[in-house]
Structure 1
Amino acid sequence: MAFSAASEPTPARGPQSEVERLRQENEQLRQALGSHAVIDRAIGVLTALGRIAPQDGFTVLREVSQHTNIKLIQVAEEVLKYAQGAALPDALLGELQAALARHRLSAWPDP
């Protein structure tokens, strides 16, 4: 008589494995919250320095991420470093300028 994998009982989760699962879930939520905060700050920088509407900030970050094949959180981190005086990597600079130009508010005159 053959048994399929579906008919085998699932091993009972003990309290220790449940605690570990909850720890892992908690860590994932902490990382997501931290990433969200970084991305939100980068959106603020782009809104102010890039002269774009706040709702376009995430779109710009996403476009740059997709065009450079760099993770969105890494693009956001580079934007924040730039706001503090660091240079942008060449791979990001051109894409960021192009994305900002596509979304720039026309009501603001260029300096």
Structure 2
Amino acid sequence: MTAGATELARECERLRVENRQLQRAVSSHALIDQAIGAVIVLGRIRQDEAWGVLRDVSQRTNTKLSLIAEHVLKFAQGGDLPQPELDEFRRALERNRIGSRTGR
């Protein structure tokens, strides 16, 4: 392989990796957006509050946000939410309700 061909092969591989990363990011974003919608309905809260609930549950349970989103969507469809996530979900909703009442 010539130097030019080697560089082209490296660039092609770099672009393949970047493409896979972008595809995962788009899928994850769509999943999180759907979960935000579910939290809005379940918690009867605003979009920014629903985002905060998902983020809080993720941080406080040390679980990736995309996995929390997946679990919340299953929960919204009648499935189970792992107990630590369910407990934190309820606390996060309550924190948001209190914050909304105090103007936070």
Q: TM-score range by the shorter chain?
A: 0.7 to 0.9
Hey, what does 2:28 align to over in structure 1?
35
Higher alpha-carbon Rg:
1
Higher normalized contact order (CA 8 Å, seq sep 6+, divided by chain length): 1
C-alpha deviation, 1:103, in angstroms: 1.3
Q: How big is the alpha-carbon RMSD for the aligned residues of Structure 1 and Structure 2?
A: 1.6
Which consecutive residues of structure 2, in runs of 5 or more, have no partner in the other structure?
Answer: none
Which consecutive residues of structure 1, in runs of 5 or more, have no partner in the other structure?
Answer: 1-10, 107-111
Hey, what does 1:69 align to over in structure 2?
62
TM-score, with structure 2 as normaliser: 0.86
TM-score, with structure 1 as normaliser: 0.80
Identity of aligned residues (%): 50
Write out the 4+ residue segments of structure 1 that deviate beyond 2 Å after TM superposition: none
The count of aligned residue pairs is: 96
Larger helix percent: 2
C-alpha deviation, 1:86, in angstroms: 0.5
Hey, what does 2:83 align to over in structure 1?
90
